[in-house]
Structure 1
């Protein structure tokens, strides 16, 4: 007779008490949107409800709507951003205020972290934001100032702005767009005031991670955000993901366990060093494995420093460890069906769900963000979670990502995404 109740579904954590307004501060081309995007990906991966409210996007949306209604296109060239342009000043302030009101309303409706992506570059603007947020019970305000004095980073950000299809510079040559954008930056520099208000909760990030100042940051989520931002950098690097070579349990169709490699798995382990070396050349690389024998065995021939992580161990199948899926279906048909319906939330009795694994992997993500070239030899469920983080994929899709055996996936983080090669 079938036994029921070997596991159950894990509920999403209740984060309803977390209400943070994160207001960006900084000149254009200083990485504010990059930091906003990275934070959004990280916190969404941890299942917080996060949304970026970008004032520039709101400006462009309203300008497009106005043009459709009136037939007259409003030009937002550098002069529109001049502090001496009173009419434009009023329009910019209205956009910032409306964007903040949308953010606050969204938090009231259940959101956790609203990111106000704007320059917010004067004491008076920040004072207004502070006073407005204070009117909302239980809301916390953090300013995040992005400072950049590295000419190479600024040049890269400017080039990205004028060549990435930004609507402000549609149908304009890159040379003309660059000149106008640099003039826009100059207009903001005339009135820019760095954060000196000692009573504010704020983080100051210099050159996207080379130096970080943390002031008056309190609470679990705020501290988590600060720690994550402290680990970011823009150095070129790649992250290589590979499942262990085929194991004896793979051959037998069993899940979990700590089996050794099969003959085919040994062949893959033998071929892996040449594959990695041909790709990375003389660049430094560190190999991370789980504590299980099949990953350690797969990396044993690699001529690089190695680090073993307990956090990289395969999803714990609990009482089903060592069984085939056919055996699980026969012994526990109800639970087999429940897991098939919701693989992300289903937790084996005595084991884990994918949701549990995501929480377990947070320290790995933190360390990955601060490292350079890394090869992770891991397990299917683990690599699915890491892959989903770097590609910003929904949690519901995570358990179905294809991570085949005997394949190396090369991920190269970029400013606003991640390139992939296989």
Structure 2
């Protein structure tokens, strides 16, 4: 008797026969993995060249080459604000639907609200990054971008307006933004919009809610409240990095930003509308209050992410293992060459952090005793302070030994099974020519989709992306610096998350052994840098 499967776009239950009778999906996806080929080839004849141009900016015939090379030549570019195609496949996406919507959640608008310096932009960007990673087609609409564009078109000063004043200008700007939001939902198969604005007045919030619910779009408000003076001071200090203060003197930018807070504070109305669904996000995860939750699984995922989200002060550093040519199952100790490599890595990184923090970082770390009665702090406390430093390694012997030079300095080190390199399976040790001769069909499929395809008894990059999700949430919870020592295959996936790479780009990212990669958090977009390790071959 054939099974029934419910399609998310229609909600109808349709019979399924044998695998041979299943038609190819109209959108890329595994459709519950009932056929061998889970994802369609993004470079097939049916693929839309116009959509590709949104991703890579190249011509149709050069798309594949451009996607392979874009990250290598633009490693410092965070694509979180870049347009994605209607059939975009996210790195950790488990399935797809004809409608483009996942988790039976329909369309959702997340509207941020709160006074300036409450981390709304940081929150909107990090939330969009996570949702896209899961496969949700999400986009951020920063009202500030529309204000700057409006001022540029009108050739007027890019000032900041009191919500009670300049009513005509404000209405024009807000209407343009809302029009683009509606278009994104209706024409671009968008599922989630993140509306980044102050939304100071209750009347404006109620009007916004009514307007979108009429279009069958659910609205979730997230109000960011900061009562911690230290956190507030940091947010104000970071304001000079926002697009509003490009080429400004940092001190003048801070003064101007404080004046904005003074303008808004007397008129801001805290959320208490009982008919609205909202989350009060207090001190970035210290406390969360939910009102009128009725939106199901996707909102639960969002709440779970918020519980793990923090304002970041540190960076994420990536360094490769010393020997990437070992077989997957082999686990030898660190050799002399590897020990020398990690000594140089240790000195290069800690000198760099010391210089950036303005003090001698690694000589001022308190060395803890090794008393057997002393308990190790819970993992949940790792990286909570902005000056904390944590090292993650895989459970392989050579990486554990490599981390000992950090442990001796009192730096916390953690072993993570998820950081084990991608299993090559049956093709381990084979050259391209040997794989092509021995497994011609698999070889062709791998060339078409190196991210999702896996050889016999192997893992794919997609498998790694799904496997590291708990580590991503743990990383989001940290405020300080973290060093991840891992195989290049694992670093590619982490980098893909932090820099919003597509699954077509991740397999082609390159991380030479003589470089440490730094991802520096920024409220609007992350920045990637390369730090050279002197005396080490690429």
Q: How high is the TM-score relative to the length of structure 1?
A: 0.82
- Structure 1 residues 383-421: Cα deviation after superposition (integer angstroms, max 9, x where no partner): 111122223333322111112235433433233323534
Alignment RMSD: 3.1
1:59 alignment counterpart: 147
Q: Which residue of 2 aligns with 1:111?
A: 190
What is the SS of the residue equivalent to 1:236? Answer: coil
How far residue 295 of structure 1 moved from its aligned partner, in angstroms, is: 3.0
Kept after mapping to 2: 8 A contact 1:245/1:406: no
Structure 2 unaligned segments of length 5 or more: list them.
Answer: 1-35, 41-88, 90-94, 354-360, 366-387, 532-538
Of 456, 459, 462, the match for 1:355:
462
Q: SS at the partner of 1:212?
A: strand
In 2: Cα distance, 1:289 partner to 1:165 partner:
36
**2:270 maps to 1:189:** no
1:121 maps to which residue?
A: 200
Paired with 1:174 and 1:404, the residues of 2 have a C-alpha distance of 35
Cα offset, 1:51, TM superposition? 0.9
Contact 1:246/1:262, CA 8 A, preserved across alignment: no
Find out whether 1:203 has 2:275 as its counterpart.
no
User: Aligned equivalents of 1:26 and 1:184: distance in 2?
Assistant: 12
Distance 2:412 2:253 in 1: 46
CA distance in structure 1 between the partners assigned to 2:530 and 2:297 by the alignment: 37
Which residue does the alignment assign to 1:258? 330
- The 10-residue stretch of structure 1 (140-149 or 295-304) with the greater mean CA deviation from structure 2: 295-304
| Counterpart contact for 1:247–1:265, Cα < 8 Å | no
Per the TM alignment, residue 180 of structure 1 is displaced from its structure 2 partner at its CA by 5.0
Partners of 1:8 and 1:347 within 8 A in 2: no
Secondary structure of the residue aligned to 2:184 is helix
- State which drifts further: 225-234 or 259-268: 259-268
CA contact (8 A) 1:311 1:360 kept: yes
Task: Check 1:208–1:334 CA distance in 2 against 1; reply closer, same or farther (3 A cut).
Answer: same
Instruction: Supply the distance in 2 between the matched residues of 1:276 and 1:159 (Cα, whole angstroms).
Output: 25
Identify the structure with the greater helix proportion. 1
Give the whole-Å Cα distance in 2 for the aligned partners of 1:27 and 1:113: 23
Structure 1's 354 and 196: CA in aligned 2 closer, same or farther, altered over 3 A? same
2:3 alignment counterpart? none
Distance 2:197 2:261 in 1: 13
Counterparts in 2 of 1:392-407, with a 5 A limit?
Answer: 392-405=500-513, 407=515
Task: Give the C-alpha shift of residue 272 in structure 1.
Answer: 5.0
Does residue 287 (structure 1) correspond to residue 372 (structure 2)? The answer is no
Helix, strand or coil at the partner of 1:334: helix
Structure 1 residues 300 and 193: alpha-carbon distance in aligned structure 2, compared to 1, 3 A threshold: same
CA spacing shift, 1:213–1:172, aligned 2, 3 Å: same
1:247-396 alignment to 2 at 5 Å?
Answer: 247=324, 249=326, 256-260=328-332, 261=334, 264-269=337-342, 272-275=345-348, 278=351, 279=353, 280-281=361-362, 282-283=364-365, 284-303=388-407, 304-371=411-478, 372-396=480-504
Deviations 1:235-267 (A, max 9, x none): 532333222221552xxxx6x333425553344
Distance 1:244 1:170 in 2: 39
Going from structure 1 to structure 2, the CA distance change for 1:331 and 1:420 (only over 3 Å counts) comes to same
Aligned to 1:131: 210
Which deviates more from structure 2 when the two are superposed, residues 101-110 or residues 317-326? Answer: 317-326
Query: Take 2:112 and 2:296, find their aligned partners in 1: how far apart are those partners?
Result: 19
Q: What's the CA shift for 1:302?
A: 4.0
TM-score relative to the length of structure 2: 0.66
Greater RCO, 1 or 2 (C-alpha within 8 Å, sep 6+): 1
Kept in 1, the 8 Å contact 2:122–2:522? The answer is no
Change beyond 3 A, Cα 1:215–1:358? farther
Equivalent residue for 2:58? none
| Aligned twin of 2:320 | 243
User: Are residues 111 and 412 of structure 1, via their aligned partners in 2, closer, same or farther at CA, if it must alter by over 3 Å?
Assistant: same
Q: Which residue of 1 aligns with 2:520?
A: 412
| Number of residues of Structure 1 aligned to a counterpart in Structure 2 | 398
Runs ≥4 residues deviating over 6 A = 169-176
Q: Please identify, of 19-28 and 221-230, the stretch whose mean Cα deviation from structure 2 is larger.
A: 221-230
Match of 1:3 in 2: none
Residue by residue over 1:191-236, the C-alpha shift from the partner in whole angstroms, topping out at 9 and shown as x without a partner, is: 2111112343222223333333334444222222222222222353
